[in-house]
Structure 1
Amino acid sequence: MCPTVVLLVQHLPSGIARQSASALELSTGLIPTLLTASALAFALAWLSSVGGMGGGVLMLLAFTALFGLQVAVPTLTLTQLVSNGGRAWYNRRDVRWRVIKWHALGAIPFALAGGLLLPYVPGEPLKRALGAFLIAVALWRRLRPTPGAPADKTFAAVGAGAGLGSALFGAAGPLAAPFFLAKGLTGAAYVGTEAAASLIIHLTKTIAYGAGSLFSLHVLQLGVALTPAIVAGAWLGKRTVMRMNSQIFVLVVEAGMLVAATLLLAGV
């Protein structure tokens, strides 16, 4: 610690001095972690903007390694609010709002229920089931590359599954991905619609986690600190998507599904 700071702390009353020294040491020790987390958040916000999904699962892995699971899940929710909000805003002209309406109808109650049940439900079996589902869907898409487009009302059930899964283990964007692709959404339409759907889920989770007292001051500080990197990553992702053709975009999304499935099966 800087000698001048040490001298000032030594002249404080003993209790205040100990608290001040601890706070200074914590702040100093947190800087490298925040820099690492910001770099990862930027890269994964870009990845989410390019592929429309997958970044949340990887971000949960990174945040768990840096902060621990109890801090990682609510922190991820705050960062996903910013990330999805940015992607929805940058692609707002291409969002399919009728799909969003039906998706929200299922997502809101199930995300709220999942957020309240989080402390009591073991997430590992659900993670592996979702991983197996994603691999099965990826194989099905290869065997049947032109499936029929799902009806708008189908997205109420999709939203229910995505909302519940996201609330229980942090991120479930890959669950809805095959349905958005089957609807014929690509490029900005896919990214914007998926982001708007996820934004509603994360807003609902924020209410549920807040009711469960999962948002500490430390979590809120991390969310604020990581916001600039996430906004920058979402903006760069929008610029990247504008240069991609639809076939490459679909391949990127499917690759993201397989990466997410592998991580979920591994219990990440």
Structure 2
Amino acid sequence: MSDFNFLADLLAQPGSLIFAMLAVAAAYTVFTLVGFGSALFAGGPLTLLMPVARSVPLLAMLDCGGSALRGWQARRHVDWPAFARLFPGMLLGQLLGVVLLARLPAAPLAAALGLFIISQGLRGLLGKKGENRPSGRRALASGLFGGVLGGLFGSGGFIYASYLERHLASREAFRATQAVLIGLSTAWRIVLCLALGLLDLELLLTAFAFLPAMAAGVWLGRHIDLKISREQLARLLNLLLIASGASLLLRFAL
């Protein structure tokens, strides 16, 4: 598939397009609940229709729009001190991730990161929580790690979510703070993609084509959110950590 004609090719494959739309809707249902998961659920189906170099910035645009809307709606609940602890590391980590992407082989790094993420999910499911007292050093490490993953693989939101879920008691604060972080993180990634020439008008039009699927997922996620407890949310988050780690292993290491 041509890098410059994939939109026309995509529209010419209605079955594949419907499959991708359903994947995007499912991805943003999960994304609305826990603040990450779009790349995990939609990345694979989208790469069947377009190159990875196109699907990553496409999801970044959709993430940015959805998170900005969610963050604006819940701005009164944002925990700004927690945000301030994560944000500097996130900016630096994304820049570092892009540099590493250009210089290092992805597979060995993905294998190590995938195993680490799986271990974090298993640790959470087994109830072995880390220290709950906010720590500037821990927040900087989480911001850096999540940023590096975002720059390398287009998905680092689960690191921010894991940190915030452990340190914020309010579900509203968790949702709002995660949304603002992801909105700014993806906006920064879009700037980096623009600098590298990975964004163009055709990709922007493709993002608009997927907006209805994203909106449907956000609507469904908000309705499910009203019916689950914090414990169920934490369990879902840790299961998705395991799935994210496994996804990295499958996509880049095996």
TM-score relative to the length of structure 2? 0.85
List runs of 5+ in structure 1 lacking aligned partners: 1-21
Paired residues for 1:186-265 under 5 Å = 187-265=171-249
Q: What do residues 58-110 of structure 1 show as CA deviations (whole Å, max 9, x unaligned)?
A: 22222112212121111121121123223323433332121112211111122
Q: Which residue of 1 aligns with 2:12?
A: 29
Q: Percent same amino acid among aligned pairs?
A: 23
- Please list the CA deviations of residues 134-163 of structure 1 after superposition, one character each: whole Å capped at 9, or x if unmatched: 222123334554542142523222111111
CA RMSD of aligned residues (A): 2.6
When residues 160 and 28 of structure 1 are mapped into structure 2, their CA distance, relative to the original with a 3 A threshold, is: closer
Residue 47 of structure 1: aligned partner = 30
State whether residues 48 and 56 of structure 1, in contact with CA within 8 Å, keep that contact through their aligned partners in structure 2. no
Structure 1: distance between partners of 2:47 and 2:247 = 13
Counterpart pick for 1:169 among 133, 146, 153:
153
The CA distance in 2 between the partners of 1:180 and 1:196, in whole Å, is 12
Structure 2: which amino acid aligns with 1:250? Answer: A
Aligned mates of 1:46, 1:164 — CA distance in 2 = 25
Could you say if the C-alpha distance between residues 144 and 237 of structure 1 is closer, same or farther in structure 2, counting changes exceeding 3 Å?
A: closer
Letter in 2 for 1:106: G
Bigger Cα Rg: 1
Greater CA drift, 118-127 or 27-36: 27-36
Structure 2: any 5+ residue segments left out of the alignment? none
Shift of 1:189: 2.7
For 1:108 and 1:31, the matched residues in 2 are separated by 38
1:60 matches 2:60 = no
The answer (yes or no) to whether the contact 2:23–2:41 under 8 Å persists in 1 is: no
Residue 81 (structure 1) aligned with residue 28 (structure 2):
no
Q: TM-score, normalised by structure 1?
A: 0.81
Q: Retained in 1: the 8 A contact 2:120–2:241?
A: no
Q: Quick one: distance in 1 between partners of 2:6 and 2:192?
A: 30
Q: Give the number of aligned pairs.
A: 247
Matches within 5 A, 1:124-143: 124-143=107-126
Q: Could you tell me which residue of structure 2 aligns to residue 183 of structure 1?
A: 167
